[in-house]
Amino acid sequence: MFKEQFINHIQFERRYSRHTIIAYSNDLDQFFGFVKSVYEIEHIRDVRAPVIRSWVVSLLERKYTAKSINRKLSVLKSYYRFMLREGIIENDPMSKVISPKTSKRLPVFVEENGMNLLLDEIDFGPGFQGCRDKLIIEMFYNTGVRLSELISLQMSDVDTYNNQIKVTGKRNKERIIPFGKELRSSVLKYREVRSAEFMGVVDSGYFFLTVRGKKVYEKLVYRLVNYYLSTVSSITKKSPHVLRHTFATHMLNKGADLNAVKELLGHTSLAATQVYTHNTIEKLKSVYKQAHPRA
């Protein structure tokens, strides 16, 4: 059903990430499998809105969340827009499909005293690994970078002269993020330890390395973040993205401009950043109730 053409489009023209391409491909395979097995449809032109709506119903019956279903529908919308542009179809059935409503969930974050405890009191251990692990936590918390952005950091991307890092985000968009004196000190210490640890070894150029001198990978970073957050917080989700949420929430709690936080996070839409203001408002409500005599 012209899947290969669409995948080539998002890979080479839109320059989507590898993970996004895999997710899109899997969602399309799931949809195509449904229309073939249930309706015996072989061509995309024969798919109508009721067919797509019945797929949504089947997903709901299989306990998929509204958020997951909406993500799949978003893939279909992109796919059908491409089909229209290429002249393969004349009408877009997605225009008659309504997405399920999602409940708004506030971003999970670590309280400020928890982060202070983690960075000031917890022992990360000696040597290269301990130094690296602590800097990874600091980098997430001080800059709000995504996991993929941190893993892909090059040595040349971290500028201690101007106290800033250059990251490559979604759609290969680059942005500059400033950092403070504390992180600069940690970066300089890590560079010194890193250099001594891998003296004489061919340098890959990546900033964060495994103990074997290779580029760090997602599971390793996720595992260490989960472990150290467990030492200071009882929140159920303990991932690198939680540290990104924590960065944004703490910045806004301290009075940072919403547009500035948007730029630091690399969001394309202000709406994506505004979700963090809910946490800020909840904190203000809590302070008000505690402090105001008539609350």
Q: Is residue 82 part of a domain?
A: yes
pLDDT score for 253: 86
Asked whether residue 192 falls in the same domain as residue 216, the answer is yes
Which residue bears the tokens 């630091």? 264
Whether 206 is a known active-site residue: answer: no
The catalytic residue among 3, 53, 146, 166 is 146
Check residue 222 and give its pLDDT: 97
User: For this structure, is 14 an active site residue?
Assistant: no
Which residue in the list 72, 238, 262, 267 is annotated as catalytic?
267
How many domains does the chain fold into?
A: 2
Q: What is the CATH number of the domain that holds 59?
A: 1.10.150.130
- What is the Rg, in whole angstroms, of the alpha carbon atoms belonging to the chain? 23
| Whether 276 is catalytic | yes
pLDDT of residue 291: 67
Instruction: Please tell me what DSSP assigns to residue 159.
Output: E
Instruction: Look up the domain containing 181 and give its range.
Output: 112-291
> In the prediction, which pLDDT does 269 show?
86
Is 128 part of any domain? Answer: yes
CA atoms within 13 A on the CB side of 73: 26
Q: Which among 170, 175, 278, 283 is annotated as catalytic? A: 170
231 and 268 share one domain: yes
* Residue type at 231 in one-letter notation: T
Active site residue 170: yes
- The answer to whether residue 106 is domain-embedded is no
Which of 132, 134, 184, 244 is an active site residue?
Answer: 244
Task: Look up residue 215 and give its DSSP letter.
Answer: B
| Annotation marks residue 241 as catalytic | yes
pLDDT of residue 282: 65
Confidence (pLDDT) at 295:
55
Say if 55 falls within a structural domain. Answer: yes
Note the pLDDT of residue 129: 97
Among this protein's residues, is 15 annotated catalytic? Answer: no
Average pLDDT along the chain, 295 residues, taken 10 residues at a time: 92 91 96 95 92 94 92 96 94 92 80 95 95 98 96 96 94 92 97 95 93 96 97 93 94 89 91 79 66 61
